[in-house]
Amino acid sequence: MKQTSFAEMRCSVARALDQVGSWWSLLIIRDAMMGARRFKDFESSLGIAKNTLTNRLKELLDNGILKQVEPENGSKYLDYELTEKGRDLAPIIMTLAQWGDKWSVHEDGPSFELRNKRSDEEISRLWPRDHDGTAIDLADVMLSREGRNGQETRTIAPEAGGLNDD
Amino acid sequence: MKQTSFAEMRCSVARALDQVGSWWSLLIIRDAMMGARRFKDFESSLGIAKNTLTNRLKELLDNGILKQVEPENGSKYLDYELTEKGRDLAPIIMTLAQWGDKWSVHEDGPSFELRNKRSDEEISRLWPRDHDGTAIDLADVMLSREGRNGQETRTIAPEAGGLNDD
């Protein structure tokens, strides 16, 4: 699926992508977050070829994103479960879902809803914020990174607006 | 790179991935956020084969994530620029960068830094929050989606903690 390893790149985005593995892997992680635990759960949710699924699951185990645990139902196969590192991918899945619902909505309407279990309120878009929780305009977000030509600093979306302009 | 189109899937995560295209596309978007505008900018940052880059750029234009604009420097080629839809991918790039810096840090240290231009403060992790800006424990985030078996609702990370447990 992927011709080049991004692991040796200094950039954290590239390193995150390398650890996750592939598009399919993100959907496997999404399904694990939705309670899939067994090979058959992932297979039936994704409609994916068995050997592709086997390879993707192995990669996620090797990278410490999934782990194998005793099965819940006495099956002879081990179940798959997200590790702490895997659960911590939730903000990535959520930002993808929120973007998809905004820009590529299905004819039947949005497919995702995120709610706070305690208040039953819908959860806002994941967005850059100050430590006090105030949303920041994208135009005010400065990103510094180690690029091929040393340290680079940039306003990432100079023409963009704030959370409420959406 | 990708065998199957995710476009027909109802899930917003799958639809977002389909629109973005590939791992390389995310790095192209990252570079555009860091100011890359010309074919050569992307090529030298990514070390990618010309034909792969050409295909990925075309896909991003077709999906309305990049647009072509008059060149800044009088070159005979058009520049590439993110559209509003493309700039709105910033939270995805940021969550990937923050996860990568936490879980797959390079030996030379974190490669990304996000700051608020106005206050010069570092920006917190992008995290699910209530409308008043209060961070929510991942264990309290309920996700509903249209799955293959109808509407499913789940706590996505029942064992996970809050933003400060990181």
Contact list in B for residue A37 (CB cut-off 8 A) is none
Q: Which of residues 101-120 of A touch B (CB under 8 A)?
A: 101-106, 108, 110-119
Alpha carbon distance A14, B105 (integer Å): 11
The total number of residues shown for chain A amounts to 166
Structure-block tokens of residue B118: 């106005």
Q: Are A15 and B104 in contact (CB under 8 A)?
A: yes
Q: Is the pLDDT of residue B146 over 90?
A: no
Q: Is the pLDDT of residue B3 over 60?
A: no
More confidently predicted of B66 and B155 = B66
Cβ of A157 within 8 Å of Cβ of B90? The answer is yes
Cβ of A138 within 8 Å of Cβ of B87? The answer is yes
Taking CA–CA distances from B162, the nearest residue in chain A reads A88
- State whether residue A104 is helix, strand or coil: coil
Is the CB of B71 inside 8 Å of chain A's CB atoms? Answer: no
For residue B147, what pLDDT is reported? 67
For residue B105, what pLDDT is reported? 77
Structure-block tokens of residue B78: 């058009």
Task: Considering only the beta carbons, identify the residue of B85, B111, B114 that sits closest to A141.
Answer: B114
- Provide the 10 A C-beta neighbour count for residue A103: 20
Instruction: Report the interhelical angle of A12-20 vs B23-33 (nearest 10°).
Output: 170
Is the CB of A69 inside 8 Å of chain B's CB atoms? Answer: no
Taking CA–CA distances from A112, the nearest residue in chain B reads B145
SS3 for A33-91 is: HCCCCCHHHHHHHHCCCHHHHHHHHHHHHHCCCEEEECCCCCCCCCEEEECHHHHCCHH
Is the CB of B67 inside 8 Å of chain A's CB atoms? Answer: no
Structure-block tokens of residue B115: 């700051």
Cβ of A111 within 8 Å of Cβ of B30? The answer is no
The total number of residues shown for chain B amounts to 166
Alpha carbon distance A89, A85 (integer Å): 7
Structural domains in chain A, CATH included, are 12-88 (1.10.10.10), 92-165 (no CATH)
Residue B91 vs residues A40, A156, B71, B107: alpha-carbon distances, Å: 32, 11, 27, 25
For residue B2, what pLDDT is reported? 44
ipTM of the complex: 0.90
Whole-number percent of chain B with pLDDT over 70: 92
Is the CB of B53 inside 8 Å of chain A's CB atoms? Answer: no
Task: Considering only the beta carbons, identify the residue of A11, A17, A112 that sits closest to B12.
Answer: A112
For the residues B119-123, what does the mean pLDDT come to?
91
Q: What is the pLDDT of residues B35-55, one digit of tens each?
A: 999 999 999 989 889 999 999
Is the CB of A19 inside 8 Å of chain B's CB atoms? Answer: yes
Is the CB of B33 inside 8 Å of chain A's CB atoms? Answer: yes
Alpha carbon distance B77, B41 (integer Å): 13
Cβ of B114 within 8 Å of Cβ of A33? The answer is no
Q: Is the pLDDT of residue A31 over 90?
A: yes
Q: What is the dihedral of CA A59, A27, A129, B135, to 10 degrees?
A: -90
Q: What confidence category does residue A4 fall into, taking pLDDT thresholds of 50, 70 and 90?
A: low
Is the CB of A140 inside 8 Å of chain B's CB atoms? Answer: yes
- State whether residue A100 is helix, strand or coil: helix
Cβ of B17 within 8 Å of Cβ of A26? The answer is yes
- State whether residue B106 is helix, strand or coil: coil
For residue B72, what pLDDT is reported? 78
H/E element, B80 = strand B79-82
Whole-number percent of chain A with pLDDT over 70: 92
Structure-block tokens of residue B142: 């309920």
Q: What confidence category does residue B5 fall into, taking pLDDT thresholds of 50, 70 and 90?
A: low
* Amino acid, single-letter form, for residue B139: A
Q: What is the mean pLDDT of chain A?
A: 87
Q: What is the pLDDT of residues A53-65, one digit of tens each?
A: 999 999 999 999 9
Cβ of A98 within 8 Å of Cβ of B89? The answer is no
Q: Is the pLDDT of residue A166 over 50?
A: no
Cβ of B112 within 8 Å of Cβ of A12? The answer is yes
For the residues B63-80, what does the mean pLDDT come to?
90
Cβ of A166 within 8 Å of Cβ of B22? The answer is no
Quote the minimal CA–CA distance from B139 to chain A in Å: 9
* Amino acid, single-letter form, for residue A126: L
DSSP calls for B5-68: --TTSS-HHHHHHHHH-SHHHHHHHHHHHTT--SHHHHHHHHT--HHHHHHHHHHHHHTTSEEE
H/E element, A154 = strand A150-155
Alpha carbon distance A1, B4 (integer Å): 11
Q: What is the pLDDT of residues A33-55, one digit of tens each?
A: 989 999 999 999 898 899 999 99
More confidently predicted of B125 and B72 = B125
More confidently predicted of A2 and B82 = B82
Is the CB of B147 inside 8 Å of chain A's CB atoms? Answer: yes
Which range among A110-114, A116-120, A145-149, B88-92 shows the weakest confidence by mean pLDDT?
Answer: A145-149
Phi (first) and psi of residue B47, to 5 degrees:
60, 45
More confidently predicted of B26 and A163 = B26
For residue B166, what pLDDT is reported? 40
- What spatial distance separates the first Cα and last Cα of chain B, rounded to whole Å? 34
